[in-house]
């Protein structure tokens, strides 16, 4: 059996140095609910695990410059219990709270879900729709990248050797703005998404949509930002005509595979249906946020 070392650094720089020295054998641990399963299954055989939880700020949520900063190891249970975050970014929170069971929620983190780079990750579509950014620490210092740029393919990220996500930043938002997330799964609970859709909307004082972002999960190798679907909503009040155009545009951009959870045709159709539903929910929430 190969040796497996464990390190729990107390600073981001120490963590980065350790990961850089380990090279491909090093793995950061944010929550661990994906990493530990992969270790047990033999899919990963790292030489070093670097636990991020003792780094200051790695666990916790704070308001900053009108937005929110979420530490990389912050469990989903904390997100659901944070009143301000749940009120301002309900779609992000409801997606994070779909990751696993109640027990898993005590450990699973959005940063881990993001960096696992699964096309079906629940938390990623609403993060992309929200224009969330990530603070990345590495041997060359710190940099900021969009949440949507982290995954570059199934199981692959844009992170360089020694780099890890330390924080996720959600931007500030004004009145009449809200988001939502829904997914379709084969079972009623705790399954991998066949399709997931996040929608983020802003309205003017008359209830007309002035800004929209639509992100689709599990219908491509990475989350798809559906610009044409968003454009179908802008300038409307999410009426039936706009929702029909949204449905069509969402389906047009899908590039799904067929697997045991659903065929490509089924996923494509469901993407349009969910886009309509999620947009309607986000619109109703935005109207309530005067």
pLDDT at 189: 67
Q: In which residue are the tokens 């990345």 written?
A: 136
pLDDT mean values, one per 10 residues, the chain (290 residues)? 86 96 93 89 91 96 97 96 97 93 88 95 97 97 97 96 96 96 85 94 97 98 98 98 98 96 96 98 93
The C-alpha R_g of the chain, in whole angstroms, comes to: 19
pLDDT, tens digit, 9 for 90 and up, residues 116-135: 999 999 999 999 999 999 99
pLDDT, tens digit, 9 for 90 and up, residues 133-154: 999 999 999 999 999 999 999 9
The alpha carbon of 285 is separated from its chain's Cα centroid by a whole number of angstroms, namely 20
d(CA 12, CA 173): 29
Can you give the pTM of this predicted structure? 0.94
pLDDT at 44: 87
pLDDT at 1: 41
d(CA 16, CA 204): 44
| Residue 63: its H or E element | strand 61-64
pLDDT at 120: 95
pLDDT at 14: 96
d(CA 211, CA 268): 24
pLDDT at 37: 87
143, 268, 134: which is closest to 195 by C-alpha? Answer: 268
pLDDT, tens digit, 9 for 90 and up, residues 224-270: 999 999 999 999 999 999 999 999 999 999 999 999 889 999 999 99
Which tokens go with 125? Answer: 């579509």
Strands 48-51 and 5-7: parallel
21-27 CB contacts, 8 Å cutoff, 24+ apart: 22/46, 22/47, 22/48, 22/50, 23/161, 24/161, 26/50, 26/162
The alpha carbon of 87 is separated from its chain's Cα centroid by a whole number of angstroms, namely 18
Going through 141-194 in order, the beta strands assigned E by DSSP cover 141-146, 151-153, 156-157, 164-170, 177-184
Q: Is 71 left (phi over 0), alpha (psi -120 to 50) or beta?
A: beta
């Amino acid at each position: 059996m190969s040796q497996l070392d464990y390190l729990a650094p107390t600073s981001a720089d120490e963590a980065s140095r350790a990961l850089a020295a380990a090279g491909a054998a090093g793995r950061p641990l944010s929550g661990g609910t994906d990493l530990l399963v992969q270790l047990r299954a033999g899919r990963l055989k790292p030489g070093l695990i670097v636990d991020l939880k003792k780094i200051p700020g790695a666990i916790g949520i704070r308001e900053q410059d009108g937005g929110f900063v979420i530490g990389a190891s912050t469990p989903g249970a904390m997100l659901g219990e944070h009143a301000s975050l749940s009120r301002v970014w309900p779609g992000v929170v409801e997606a994070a709270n779909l990751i696993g069971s109640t027990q898993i929620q005590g450990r699973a983190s959005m940063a881990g879900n993001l960096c696992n780079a699964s096309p079906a990750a629940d938390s990623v579509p609403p993060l992309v729709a929200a224009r969330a950014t990530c603070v990345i620490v590495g041997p060359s210092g710190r940099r900021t990248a969009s949440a949507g740029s982290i995954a570059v393919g199934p199981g692959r990220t844009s992170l360089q050797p020694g780099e890890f996500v330390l924080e996720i930043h959600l931007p500030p938002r004004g009145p009449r703005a809200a988001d939502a997330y829904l997914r379709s799964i084969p079972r009623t609970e705790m399954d991998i998404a066949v399709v997931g859709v996040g929608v983020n909307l802003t309205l003017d004082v008359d209830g007309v949509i002035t800004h929209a972002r639509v992100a689709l999960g599990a219908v491509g190798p990475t989350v798809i930002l559906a610009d044409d679907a968003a454009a179908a909503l802008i300038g409307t009040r999410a009426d039936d005509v706009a929702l029909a155009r949204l449905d069509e545009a969402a389906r047009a951009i899908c590039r799904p595979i067929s697997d045991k959870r659903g065929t490509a045709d089924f996923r494509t159709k469901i993407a349009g249906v969910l886009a309509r539903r999620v947009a309607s929910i986000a619109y109703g929430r935005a109207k309530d946020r005067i």
